[in-house]
Amino acid sequence: MSSNYPKCVVFDLDYTLWPLWIDTHVTPPFRASKNNPQVILDRYGTDISFYKNVTDILQQLKDAQVKLCIASRTHAPKFAYQVLNLMRVPIDGELQPASKFFTNIKAFPATKIDHFEQLHKETGISYKDMLFFDDEGRNRVVESLGVTFCLVPDGLNRASFEEGIRKWQKNRK
Ligand SMILES: [Mg+2]
């Protein structure tokens, strides 16, 4: 089954995995909600959590031994890391920091080409074995490297995930 998946799936963060801009919409310090460890609250009590299907999709890919990475152009990488480390989500049936899903996290202001060149170097995985989900059409530039790009204007969900996988399978042929 795992050959039906790319070797590596890369996700943008803002408006792809969660519905906000981490560098402008929220303010530290961050803390986990007492009622739900999957929800992080900022200084003013604003909620930060993944879109509904994200954790299940990440687990499904992890089960298929797909490498999971992040490529974010955020101007607040520190906040992104803090939130991903504080947020506890079920991974292999146990609540763990969401950051544990990802082997390589690229979060800094640069082009997505820069992010992918680094990911390729670090993982040794060829661009054609990579699938990228992002909510912004301009980040389609990674297609010039050979990466499959899937636009997710409403964030990652079941339908957009399956669309991305189908697109990658088609490109591979
Ligand atoms: Mg985004």
Neighbours of ion ligand 1 (CB under 5 A): 12, 14-15, 135
Helix (H) or strand (E) holding 44: none
Mean pLDDT for the stretch of residues 14-35: 96
pLDDT for 9 beyond 60: yes
Alpha-carbon span 23 to 96, nearest angstrom:
24
CATH architecture of 2-172: 3-Layer(aba) Sandwich (3.40)
Q: Which of 12, 42, 134, 135 is catalytic?
A: 12
**Which of 64, 73, 173, 172 lies closest to 128 in space, CA to CA?**
172
- Judge whether 14 counts as a catalytic residue: yes
Question: Sorting pLDDT into bands at 50, 70 and 90, what band is 3?
Answer: low
Task: Note the pTM of the prediction, 2 decimals.
Answer: 0.96
> What average pLDDT does this structure show over 119-138?
98
Q: Taking residues 20-34, what's their average pLDDT?
A: 96
The answer to whether 63 is a known catalytic residue is no
The pLDDT of residue 2 is above 60: no
How is the chain split into domains, by residue range? Answer: 2-172
Average pLDDT over the chain, rounded to whole?
Answer: 96
